[in-house]
Amino acid sequence: MFERVEYYPGDPILGLKEKFVADTNPNKVNLGVGVYYDEAGKLPVLECVKTAEQRIADPISPRPYLPMEGLPGHRKACQELLFGKDSKVLQEKRVATIASVGGSGALKIGAEFINEWYPDSKAYVSDPTWGNHISIFEYSNVPVAKYPYYDKSTNSVKFDEMVAFFKTLNKNDVLILHPCCHNPTGIDLTQDQWDTVLEVIKQHELIPFMDIAYQGFGEDMESDVYAIRKAVDMGLPLFVSNSFSKNLSLYGERVGGLSVVCPTAELADRVFGQLQFTVRRTYSNPPSHGGHIVDIVMNDDALYKQWVGEVYAMRDRIKAMRLKLKSVLEAKIPDRNFDYLTTQNGMFSFTGLTPEQVERLAKEFGIYMVSNSRMCVAGLNSSNIDYVANAMAEVLKD
């Protein structure tokens, strides 16, 4: 009876971990999945998270079901981070927010909502984008197509082409946008460019769906949500999925949120009910441990302050690694331009290596990155950076 089941070739990002673990090269380096490792090459537990864990463990408390929408303190944390503590839209109760099972869970619930209430809408993703954007929306029966984004020749955004394309779309088509630290290219829009894009969205009555997984890793907590807050100021309807995987280093806890900004409190209430219903028939209600950590860290002034400092320290270490890799590669291959390493933002660098060069790095050097040439810069440290730079120089020379 299972003969009809098709073979799954594995995930292009998550599958790299298995290959990396199986590799016996003692110098192997994992620059595949978007995970921040510290200077010692270890996955950090943030100090603010340790304090939250101690509070959760003492005393060990019962584990009831959470409400379908998650813990109130988790939802409040998402809202205040994204929209601002004193934001008018929160005071007016125009935002429906649920806690989600990671950023992917937020995208899934959002995609299901769009399929149900906007069945004629298509979703548009940047070319390229994070592959799971496409899978999640298609699997929720929302047709997906690409909009022009990355210009390889200039290592920048094909801005005019992208905006012209947006103008051809139909009312209520959904644009999946990355407010900061674009995954996989690391190339973001400037604030002026966001203003233009949001104006086009408004005129053509498109639906922005902003997916933010790296708040704090770009410029800072506030600048990284410029596009979200500007869209709200302009009165646009808006979906925002956010993740705490990276900025709380809570990957396995699966904590995030989905927020839908509505024109009135009454509509937000209705949307909220439908989000609850979608959660109920998908996984019933979210797990509680990660939600408690978010609640404790984000709603305690001292822990929040400590958290922001810890995120900025991660951001700064990534920036230092970008500079270092650039200078080593420039010294080795002086006739090649490596400016992209420092102009791109966040965890990722789109290196422009060919799939063959990426494969050589894995086979000959045990260095793993995504086949589209995306490197997770957060996997570099002072012990492996020369090895990686030498290997890159080697494959680039041939």
Residues in CB range of 308: below 8 A, 6 or more apart: 216, 221
Task: Give the CA diameter of the chain.
Answer: 63
**What number of other Cβ atoms are within 10 A of residue 86's Cβ?**
8
Which one, 307 or 368, has the nearer CB to ligand LMR?
A: 368
Query: Cβ of residue 132: shortest distance to ligand LMR, in angstroms?
Result: 6
34 near ligand LMR, judged by CB under 6 A: yes
Which residue is nearest to ligand LMR, using beta carbons?
34
130 near ligand LMR, judged by CB under 6 A: yes
Q: Is 394 exposed, middle or buried (0-12, 13-18, 19+ CB in 10 A)?
A: middle
Which one, 121 or 243, has the nearer CB to ligand LMR?
A: 243
398 is catalytic: no
Which one, 130 or 244, has the nearer CB to ligand LMR?
A: 130
Using alpha carbons, select from 304, 255, 244 the residue that is nearest to residue 51. 304
Q: What's the distance, Cα to Cα, between the start and end of the chain in Å? A: 50
Question: Of 246, 295, 307, 326, which residue is the catalytic one?
Answer: 246
261 near ligand LMR, judged by CB under 6 A: no
Question: Of 130, 158, 188, 326, which residue is the catalytic one?
Answer: 130
Please give the structure tokens belonging to residue 393: 């120089």
The gap from C-alpha 335 to its chain's centroid, in whole angstroms, comes to 34
Query: Cβ of residue 398: shortest distance to ligand LMR, in angstroms?
Result: 28
105 near ligand LMR, judged by CB under 6 A: no
Using alpha carbons, select from 257, 258, 229, 261 the residue that is nearest to residue 245. 257
Which one, 105 or 237, has the nearer CB to ligand LMR?
A: 105
Question: Of 23, 188, 211, 224, which residue is the catalytic one?
Answer: 211
**What number of other Cβ atoms are within 10 A of residue 177's Cβ?**
28
Which one, 166 or 251, has the nearer CB to ligand LMR?
A: 251
- Number of residues in contact with ligand LMR, rule: CB under 6 A? 6
What distance in Å separates the CA atoms of residue 249 and residue 45, rounded to the nearest whole number?
7
Q: Beta strand 123-127 with 144-148: parallel, antiparallel or unpaired?
A: parallel
**Type of residue numbered 201:** I
Which one, 30 or 115, has the nearer CB to ligand LMR?
A: 30
246 is catalytic: yes
Using CB under 6 A, which residues numbered 164 to 193 contact ligand LMR? 183
Query: Cβ of residue 125: shortest distance to ligand LMR, in angstroms?
Result: 14
What distance in Å separates the CA atoms of residue 298 and residue 81, rounded to the nearest whole number?
9
Question: Contact with ligand LMR (CB under 6 A): which of 13, 71, 162, 169?
Answer: 13
Question: Contact with ligand LMR (CB under 6 A): which of 33, 78, 176, 231?
Answer: 33
Using alpha carbons, select from 275, 224, 265, 308 the residue that is nearest to residue 88. 265
194 is catalytic: no
Give the footprint of ligand LMR on this chain (CB under 6 A): 13, 33-34, 130, 132, 183
Q: Active-site residue numbers?
A: 130, 211, 246
